Structure 1
Amino acid sequence: MTWFSETLHPGYCQHLEIGHVVFEDKTEHQHLILFDNPIFGRVLALDGIVQTTERDEFFYHEMLVHVPLVAHGAAQNVLIIGGGDGGSLREVLRHPVEHATLVELDRTVIDLCTEHLPGLSQGAFDDPRTQVHIGNGGRFMADTEQKFDVIIVDSTDPMGPGEALFTQAFYGDCKRCLSPGGVLVTQNGVPFFQADELTRAGRRLRQEFSDVGFYTVPVPTYVGGPMTLGFSTDNPDLHRLGTDVLAARFAALEITTRYYTPHVHRAAFDLPGYITALIP
């Protein structure tokens, strides 16, 4: 029996049985492995860290996308930084958006997941509303003059290629590129293990936005308890919308979700004490 060992957190390791290695390679950016696991199905890991699995991806992708888009209520132009597996793009395109731009550092991730994890993107890369840009997400944000209603940072952890997506400069560029009343959503780690990551993000985001909140989502393969997602905007009403408003907007979409509901949306912003204590 062969095992994949993830050692993201010092002093702690999770192991996943490798039933079959579908693909493994080291690109100019990172090491990739895609393998089958008897519990989670197909698993994608980058630089030794699990990114997504067939069985539990919906927790993360639904909450990363539907919370900001339902809260905004009228997003037409959406940007995704990262997300080469296509799961976030899939969920964005379930909304009546006009344009969805995805910026992915490594083309191999898109090609690999389109071929071997097609259930994640479900054809989203072929949707005429989709525009894909291959390149550094931080550099894209620094250079672009485009405006977006919602920006979703579907990033890896703040190490290696993903480190630039957690800086003050990057958050400032995101603010500059948001339309009035727009929303930035960020991946800010599992605070039980990554407390400093959440605290730093909170401080940096509050230097750019007048209203910064955090909400949680449990993802089984992101071990250590709930993950936190940042919700930053200059419209203080958006993350305080009542369940009745959220329910009406969600019903109008006429879609079915497996984790997200308007009640879960509202409750996700009610944080446990140990997380609240980490937010400046």
Structure 2
Amino acid sequence: MADMTGWSVEALHHDLRQALRQDQVLYDSQSDHQRIVVFENETFGRVLTLDGVVQVTERDNFIYHEMLTHVPVLAHGAVRRVLIIGGGDGGMARAALRHDVEQVTMVEIDAGVVEFSRKFLPGISGDAFDDPRLDLQIADGADFMRETDGGYDVIIVDSTDPIGPGEVLFTDHFYGHAKKALTDGGILVTQNGVPFMQGGELTGTMRAFQSLFNDAYAYVAPVPTYQGGFMSFGWGTDSDARNVPLDVLEQRFRTAGLETDYYTPEVHKAAFALPGYIRRLIPGT
């Protein structure tokens, strides 16, 4: 075996490894919940790993954050309150706060992730943590969802993979509580891994969504540092927001005044056109 000293080797999948060179380790600490590492990489800039699994990088995070935020917010068209479960690096909050919303509540289980993100990943969080519209809650996302009074127009589950602290965020009970926390016509979106490697994640979420929502589907985007091709995002709502016409999305996009690097209204519509192998992971399709 080659000498992998100086490399971060991800072992998320039992038969596949991804390695990123650690040009400089900036942070390495074990919190109460997980091992947090931030390092520099020539191609991807600063990289955050949790328990050795890549969570976000400076260079490609825009794809993930734009698609999990702008798609539901612009599809809804009248969002006032957003709830983010996870997202301790601040990137999702930053994307949500680019919209004209009243409040973004972010629930992160690990205060350590927020603390070091402010210091070591300022390019990802921007000024999100200082925005008065951000309500930051250090709490267990499942507990918060069970106890909240709700009233959210969009809920974004920016979770880790369903191992360790993130496992509970993929359960039927969690999704049921999320449904109750939505306003009429609200939208729930979730990260559901890379279907080529983790197809069961999407199938499990879709089965739960189908019992809860009138419209349960998925959309995709390619994020280079997530192994295996397209990443999938779960979509659940009782509205017809998935079918908003392109011209309406274009108008909402112009009105929002967004400058994006991946999202466009055309990409928004196309993201729901699933490849056959992904569509077959959704029960009944």
Regarding TM over 0.5, the answer is yes
Aligned residues: 279
In the alignment, which residue of structure 2 is the partner of 1:193? 197
**Structure 2 unaligned spans of 5+:** none
Q: Which amino acid aligns with 2:274?
A: L
- Alignment counterpart, residue 133 of structure 2, candidates 125, 129, 136: 129
Cα distance in 1 between the residues matched to 2:244 and 2:277: 24
- Alignment counterpart, residue 224 of structure 1, candidates 221, 228, 231: 228
Q: Which amino acid aligns with 1:13?
A: R
Moved over 6 A (4+): none
Cα distance in 2 between the residues matched to 1:135 and 1:206: 28
**Aligned residues with identical type, % of pairs:** 54
1:275 to 2:278 alignment: yes
- Alignment counterpart, residue 252 of structure 1, candidates 252, 255, 258: 255
Cα distance in 2 between the residues matched to 1:255 and 1:275: 30
Cα distance in 2 between the residues matched to 1:196 and 1:118: 34
1:138 to 2:148 alignment: no
| Pairing of 1:164-243 with structure 2 (within 5 A) | 164-235=168-239, 237-243=240-246
| Pairing of 1:1-280 with structure 2 (within 5 A) | 2-235=6-239, 237-280=240-283
Cα distance in 2 between the residues matched to 1:171 and 1:265: 24
SS at match of 2:36: strand
Cα distance in 1 between the residues matched to 2:275 and 2:245: 20
Cα distance in 1 between the residues matched to 2:126 and 2:207: 37
TM-fit CA distance, 1:241: 1.2
1:194-231 CA deviation, whole Å, 9 max, x = no partner?
01111111101111111111000100000101000011
Q: Which amino acid aligns with 1:271?
A: L
SS at match of 1:7: strand
| Contact 2:110/2:138 (8 A) holds in 1 | yes
Cα distance in 2 between the residues matched to 1:105 and 1:137: 7
Q: TM-score, normalised by structure 2?
A: 0.97
Q: Which amino acid aligns with 1:207?
A: S
Q: What's the C-alpha RMSD, in Å, of the aligned pairs?
A: 0.7
1:146-190 CA deviation, whole Å, 9 max, x = no partner?
310000000000110000100000000000000000000001110
| Contact 2:150/2:183 (8 A) holds in 1 | no
SS at match of 1:221: coil
**Structure 1 unaligned spans of 5+:** none
SS at match of 1:193: helix
